[in-house]
Amino acid sequence: MDAVQILRDKAKKSKSLIVLPEVGDARVREAAEIIQREHIAKILLLEKNKISKKKIKKFAKIFYELRKFKGITEEEAFNTVSDPLYYCAMMVREGEADGFVAGACYTTPSVARSAIYCLGLDKRFTTACSSFIMIVPNCLYGEKGTFVFADCGIVPDPSAETLANVAICTAEMAQEVLDLKPRVAMLSYSTKGSATGRMVIKVKEATKLVRKKAPRLIVDGELQVDSAIIPEVAKIKYPNSKLKGRANVLIFPNLEAGNIGYKLVQRLANARAIGPILQGLRHPCSDLSRGCIVDDIIDCVAVTAIRADKHLRLK
């Protein structure tokens, strides 16, 4: 059984309610039909003309209290939560749904803002970030061809502390969704001092912080990607690495590298890219690429449903 089917089968056990606010998109409607037919998750297609006015008023009051420190007015709060994207995020915040998936029409910044403003940040982390589950066909590396890449969609130039938080929450996501033991590589253009520079220093500092904050996590850095994922190269470049060239979670030093990296693997290796999965928040949700296909939407819903089930179990 392939990794995608394993994810979908796992989601079926969750019974989570996931909201899709982009009902006007034909891909979303087709995905919702398949998800419901195959019982992958419970789906609510949120139609703007059927949104409860009473609920809008309720959510507007809550949203105003959340954002009034930024100078938002009550009218602006009302108008904001009238948008299906913010309305569905407020549904998740208030426990009326377990997660949401959007981005077929909305941009990544729009989806990320709605998630951060409405759901709020996990207190353990200082920022939201994102990851992709990458499933590479005919690949012996990673977890039999499965990797998690981060951050590929949210934080342009993370500090060492933020990069450490990205690594920790990505490892947690990988473990809870994929049931794998995370082996985290902090990527760089240097392997253990083979090069110097500001970015190398940042990755080294981030690696130290990860070890301090999550001492049980298997992590190493700074590493070039070949040293991180190819055992034969690791033996030559850094034989003492804890990873031994078997990393399955790859943390990129900045958004530019992460975004380019995942798209290269997706297009050149014909890999399945599931995400961006939004992380570091109080509730689960996922973004989509606006170029997504129906299967991308189904898979993001499956991942969000699995995470939502885990979230509910911890309550």
- The ranges assigned to domains in the chain are 1-120+282-315, 122-280
Q: Are 255 and 157 in contact (CB under 8 A)?
A: yes
- Residue 276: asked if its preceding bond is cis (omega within 30°), the reply is yes
Q: Residue 52: pLDDT above 90?
A: no
pLDDT classification of 188: cutoffs 50, 70, 90? very high
Among 3.40.50.12280, 3.30.930.10, 3.40.109.10, 3.40.50.10950, name the CATH number for the domain at 1-120+282-315.
Answer: 3.40.50.10950
Query: Do the first three CATH levels of 1-120+282-315 and 122-280 match, i.e. the same topology?
Result: yes
In the 8-state DSSP scheme, what is residue 121?
B
Residue 232 has a CB neighbour count (10 Å cut-off) of: 9
Indicate the pTM of the whole model: 0.90
Q: Residue 158: pLDDT above 80?
A: yes
Q: Are 302 and 284 in contact (CB under 8 A)?
A: no
CATH 3.40.50.10750 fits 122-280, yes or no: yes
Q: Residue 313: pLDDT above 70?
A: no
Mean per-residue pLDDT, 92-119: 94
Tens digit of pLDDT for each residue in 219-259?
998 899 999 999 999 999 999 999 999 999 999 999 999 99
Residue 65 has a CB neighbour count (10 Å cut-off) of: 11
In the 8-state DSSP scheme, what is residue 70?
G
Please tell me the total number of residues recorded for the chain in this structure: 315
Q: Are 121 and 128 in contact (CB under 8 A)?
A: yes
Q: Are 203 and 182 in contact (CB under 8 A)?
A: no
Q: Tell me the C-alpha to C-alpha distance, in Å, between residue 255 and each of 57, 164, 200, 276.
A: 37, 14, 15, 12
Phi, psi for residue 239 in degrees, rounded to 5: -65, -20
Contacts of 111 (CB under 8 A, 6+ apart): 85, 102, 103, 278, 285, 287, 288
